Amino acid sequence: MRTLAEVVDHLGSSGTTGIIDGTEIRVRRPAAGRRDRDRFISGKNKQNAVKSMVVTDGNCSPTRPGSCADITHARQLGLVKLLADGPAVEILADAGYQGLGAQTGGRVITPPHRKFKKNASDRYEEMHERQRKAHSSRRIRVEHGIAHLKNWRVLARHLGRREHISDTVQAVAAVLSYQQTADLAPARTM
């Protein structure tokens, strides 16, 4: 699957839940005098980075400059339109995608929002923590998938051209996906 539309169609036809998350990959600083040099500085890590959106089935989106928020990246890729107009799909997301559920008709599920910041009852705190942990335990697969991507030296810190990093992320994700399916295949006996 090469496009986000293909992933959404696959998730809709198979009836599986998708899990989405964004990750930043450190890159070289753009040359001095370049107009959009500040676009690559991440607000989160204060480093030069590009952002990629990852779906657990091995598909990664094209990269964007590191200053782009997760929810903005999803909107720019057309995820909102695909989910609103496409098949009924459930996608689990982290708090970086808060508010996307309302725009997609409840198809994007984010962790529960804390209603009380001060003087919350113990019962509410306990219930909120239970819901947050349940959501987190369903999303852990994408976090592990991103960790496996970052184990590859080329994605720990990308030193090549930023124009080619999308292809590199796709290639590493494909190799990891193949490794996982090969590990599941029964070993040949002689």
4-177: CATH number? 3.30.420
The beta-strand segments (E) located in the chain are 18-27, 49-55, 64-65, 91-92, 108-109, 157-158
In terms of C-beta density within 10 A (0-12 exposed, 13-18 middle, 19 or more buried), how is residue 161 classed? exposed
CA 151 → CA 77, 146, 159, distances in Å? 26, 9, 15
| Average model confidence (pLDDT) across the chain | 76
Residue 128 pLDDT: 87
> What's the rounded Cα separation, in Å, for the pair 173 and 165?
12
Instruction: Give me the mean pLDDT over the 6-20 stretch.
Output: 79
- At 156, the amino acid letter reads A
Residue 62 pLDDT: 61
For 75-97, what is each residue's pLDDT tens digit? Answer: 888 888 888 887 888 888 888 88
Which one, of 99, 91, 95, lies nearest residue 75 by Cα? 99
Q: Which two tokens stand for residue 136?
A: 């987190």
* Residue 162 confidence (pLDDT) above 50: yes
Residue 185 pLDDT: 58
Indicate the pTM of the whole model: 0.66
Contact between 10 and 57 under an 8 Å Cβ cutoff? The reply is: yes
Contact between 52 and 60 under an 8 Å Cβ cutoff? The reply is: yes
Residue 182 pLDDT: 67
Contact between 106 and 82 under an 8 Å Cβ cutoff? The reply is: no
> What's the rounded Cα separation, in Å, for the pair 34 and 28?
13
Q: Which sequence spans correspond to the domains of the chain?
A: 4-177
